[in-house]
């Protein structure tokens, strides 16, 4: 969920960070993998003219044909769906064994499933679902996924606060309550809901879900005051979106690959958390939404770019709610690492 209300960085600073620095006392042993493939199923943008490179492949027009009577041959080629949401498929390989997880599901019930079909991806082959947080633009496609999976039990890892009622108080427009996830509905649709606040290890210890992210930077303060949560008795400012989690994989010989949904915890807080929990110093790739769009977050762009310069990722592929100003800044600062995001993009990362 991206905030577009007219607010200030000063108001956003009302959420104080919790300083947790240094390595974990008992680092998590995240098993290195030999290959990672991340396919963006849904993003805010679809660009059919993007070109491939050594590690990134794109989908253009021609993924599927559809009837169109205005053309001589009665049909036309179409690309993929773009919408204000995010969904990615991540496949990890260790030796000869591959495992595929779905990370978020996009905004609408149909976009993620439709794009998977156009990419010839069989969603019944996924082994589990990870939900980055409870905002509806990351969970709307679960309805379409449930219809595709049928009665099969599919494990879904999420934070217990994803069920939180939230709203946006829009200036001169009142309060707009956001769609709230239903645990009862997900369970009845066949998902095996697994709630975790702490870090989780999946796929034989080769995929880590961060759990709640410690807020350690001086500049990533979360959502501004118009973003509110229901406490059970009243609406209160919800700056932290505490259910925000990221997915982390250790690519052998290169370092950590970090996948975010919106990055509400802050990109640098998330990367610090991944390093601290695993004891792995190198960041190889940062992919996904970084939530740097809009007036409340644009002051965070410069310190984020500066901190990323110190971390020196080999690949930065920001999408979804990153915002055009942040995209321009990141592209300028990291000309060799930055890659534009688009529905249908696949990043293939191979161990050294």
Q: Tokens representing 47?
A: 């660009």
* Residue 307: predicted pLDDT: 98
Q: Tokens representing 13?
A: 């600073």
- 158 touches 195 (CB < 8 A): yes
Q: Tokens representing 109?
A: 């019930």
Its sign, for the CA torsion 4, 304, 249, 210, is negative
* Residue 62: predicted pLDDT: 76
Its sign, for the CA torsion 91, 134, 272, 300, is positive
Q: What is the rounded distance in angstroms from the CA atom of residue 18 to the CA atom of residue 16?
A: 7
Q: What is the rounded distance in angstroms from the CA atom of residue 51 to the CA atom of residue 277?
A: 36
Q: What is the rounded distance in angstroms from the CA atom of residue 154 to the CA atom of residue 146?
A: 9
Q: Which residues of 272-303 are buried (b: 16+ CB within 10 A; e: fewer)?
A: bbbbbbbebeebbbbbbbbbbbbebbebbbee
Q: Tokens representing 60?
A: 């253009």
- 212 touches 159 (CB < 8 A): yes
Its sign, for the CA torsion 13, 15, 21, 24, is negative
* Residue 23: predicted pLDDT: 59
pTM over 0.85: yes
Q: Tokens representing 124?
A: 């019944």
* Residue 1: predicted pLDDT: 53
Q: What is the rounded distance in angstroms from the CA atom of residue 3 to the CA atom of residue 261?
A: 15
* Residue 20: predicted pLDDT: 47
* Residue 344: predicted pLDDT: 97
pLDDT mean values, one per 10 residues, the chain (352 residues): 45 41 70 98 97 95 86 92 98 97 98 96 97 98 95 93 96 90 96 96 96 97 97 97 98 98 98 97 98 96 98 98 98 98 98 90
């Amino acid at each position: 969920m991206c905030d577009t209300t007219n607010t200030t960085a000063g108001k956003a600073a009302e959420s104080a960070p919790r300083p947790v620095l240094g390595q974990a006392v008992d680092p998590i042993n995240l098993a290195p993998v030999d290959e990672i493939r991340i396919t963006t199923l849904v993003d805010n943008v679809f660009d059919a003219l993007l070109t491939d490179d050594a590690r990134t492949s794109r989908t253009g027009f021609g993924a599927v044909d559809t009837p169109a009577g205005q053309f001589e041959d009665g049909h036309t080629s179409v690309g993929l769906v773009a919408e204000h949401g995010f969904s990615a498929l991540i496949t990890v390989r260790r030796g000869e064994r591959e495992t595929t997880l779905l990370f978020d599901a996009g905004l609408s019930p149909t976009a993620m499933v439709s794009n998977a079909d156009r990419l010839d991806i069989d969603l019944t082959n996924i082994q589990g679902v990870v939900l980055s947080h409870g905002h509806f633009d990351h969970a709307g496609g679960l309805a379409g996924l449930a219809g595709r999976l049928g009665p099969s039990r599919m494990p879904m890892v999420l934070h217990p606060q994803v069920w939180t009622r939230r709203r946006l108080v829009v200036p001169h427009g009142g309060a707009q309550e956001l769609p709230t996830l239903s645990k009862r509905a997900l369970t009845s649709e066949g998902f095996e809901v697994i709630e975790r606040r702490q870090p989780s290890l999946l796929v034989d210890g080769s995929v880590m879900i961060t759990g709640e992210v410690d807020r350690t930077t001086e500049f990533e303060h979360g959502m501004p005051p118009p973003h509110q949560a229901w406490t059970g008795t009243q609406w209160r400012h919800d700056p932290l979106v505490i259910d925000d989690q990221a997915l982390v994989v250790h690519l052998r010989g290169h370092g950590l690959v970090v996948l975010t949904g919106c990055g509400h915890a802050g990109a640098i807080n998330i990367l610090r958390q991944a390093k601290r929990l695993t004891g792995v110093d190198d960041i190889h790739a940062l992919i996904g939404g970084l939530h740097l769009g809009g007036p409340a977050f644009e002051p965070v762009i410069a310190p984020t770019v500066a901190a990323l310069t110190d971390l020196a990722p080999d690949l930065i592929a920001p999408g979804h709610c990153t915002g055009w100003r942040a995209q321009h800044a990141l592209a300028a600062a990291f000309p060799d690492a930055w890659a534009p995001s688009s529905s249908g993009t696949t990043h293939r990362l191979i161990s050294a």
